[in-house]
Amino acid sequence: MARIIGGYFTSHVPSIGGAIVRGDQQTPYWKPFFDGYPPVREWLAEEKPDVAVCFYNDHGLNFFLDKMPTFAVGAAEVYHNEDEGWGLPVFKSFEGHPALSWHIIEQLVNDEFDITTCQSMLVDHALSIPFELVYPDAPAWPVKLVPIAINTVQFPLPSARRCLALGQAVHRGLESWQGDERIVVIGTGGLSHQLDGERAGFINPDYDRFCMDSLANDPEALVADTTKEIVRKSGSQGVEILNWIAARGALGEGGFREKTRNYHVPISNTAAATMVLEPA
């Protein structure tokens, strides 16, 4: 039977990709951020997951505003990255796991989540950077991917409570999956940041700490606010915490403990965070 090894949560700022390409990991600006990842690498090397179920948001690579699904589940054989508009090196492709994707899709629709299914789907830095950070020398990603995209771009956004429930439904799907894979759940994005408007540069460490402190054993605390109030506390793009909340739901109920946590301000315009939760 499949086993969920735990959850890996990380920011996904595009400039991290630039820092990796330039080899800036040990420079004074970047070191406090990259220092958060060796413990995650060690954990993954020990646990050896072979599937990643990853909650993220697309930034205008796969989805344009002509068609914007609230929740989209990938069911492709392979997922490619492409130029996102800055001409940066293209990230490695991911091997998909269509059978598990369809099993999760069956579970979600059965649980009355009216999702979009994608048999062809490009994945952007929000998916690639988390893997670049923890498998820096891998010639190919050692895990198969089930990507789940959440609309954090165009209001109305799904509520935090709905995202938690989505994750919980994904968890039910993983529980009933008959394969023997070892599964890591991943949530990417955040934490507090705002790129647009006169409030650009807004960062809120108090709220970020509240989110990190609540994630393991009090996720309900994270879903009390409306998405608009989350934007107020976390910034226009800090609302990407919805991806973390959904991923926490996919870990299932029961106690979790923090294997590792790193928090550093700033990376680019963002409060950057890294966490691993494993069953207590």
Partner 1 sequence: MTIAFAQRERLGEAQGPIPGTTLFDGDAAAKGYALNAMCYSFNDKANREAFRADEDGYCARFHLTPTQREAVRSRNVLAMIAAGGNIYYLAKLAGIFGLSVQDVGAQQTGMSLDAFKQMLLDSGKD
* Candidate list 112, 114, 198, 253; residue touching partner 1; CB under 8 A: 198
Using CA atoms, how far apart are residues 133 and 38, in angstroms rounded to an integer? 9
Q: Does 123 bind partner 1 (CB under 8 A)?
A: no
Q: DSSP per residue over 245-277, as a string?
A: HHHHHHH-SS-EEEEEEEEEEEETTEEEEEEEE
Q: Does 109 bind partner 1 (CB under 8 A)?
A: no
Taking Cα atoms as reference points, which of 24, 38, 115 lies closest to residue 75? 115
Give 61's DSSP letter: S
Task: Report 230-269 residues binding partner 1 (CB under 8 A).
Answer: 231-233, 236-237, 264-266, 268-269
C-beta of 207: minimal distance to partner 1 in Å?
A: 8
Q: Does 280 bind partner 1 (CB under 8 A)?
A: no
Question: Can you name the residues that pair with 79 across neighbouring β-strands?
Answer: 94
193 labelled catalytic: yes
* Candidate list 27, 86, 106, 138; residue touching partner 1; CB under 8 A: 86
> Are 178 and 100 in contact, with CB atoms under 8 Å apart?
no
Using CA atoms, how far apart are residues 208 and 266, in angstroms rounded to an integer? 13
Q: Does 41 bind partner 1 (CB under 8 A)?
A: no
Task: Identify which of residues 3 and 29 has a Cβ nearer to partner 1 in the complex.
Answer: 29
Q: Does 38 bind partner 1 (CB under 8 A)?
A: no
The pair phi, psi for residue 97, each rounded to 5°, is -140, 75
Q: Does 271 bind partner 1 (CB under 8 A)?
A: yes
Q: Does 114 bind partner 1 (CB under 8 A)?
A: no
- Catalytic choice (59, 103, 125, 171): 125
* Candidate list 203, 241, 247, 273; residue touching partner 1; CB under 8 A: 203
- Catalytic choice (12, 59, 193, 264): 193
Question: What are 136-139's contacts with CB under 8 Å, separation 24+?
Answer: 136/20, 136/41
Measured from the Cβ of residue 77, the count of other Cβ atoms closer than 10 Å reads 11
C-beta of 177: minimal distance to partner 1 in Å?
A: 32
74 SS3 class: strand
Q: Does 205 bind partner 1 (CB under 8 A)?
A: yes
CA-based diameter of the chain, in Å?
51
Q: Does 218 bind partner 1 (CB under 8 A)?
A: yes
Q: What is the dihedral of CA 227, 233, 238, 241, to 10 degrees?
A: -60
Task: Report 45-84 residues binding partner 1 (CB under 8 A).
Answer: 59-61, 64-66, 82-84
Q: Does 117 bind partner 1 (CB under 8 A)?
A: no
The residues annotated as belonging to the active site are: 125, 193
Chain residues in the site for partner 1 (CB under 8 A): 15, 59-61, 64-66, 82-87, 153-156, 194-203, 205, 207, 210, 213-214, 218, 221, 224-225, 228-229, 231-233, 236-237, 264-266, 268-269, 271
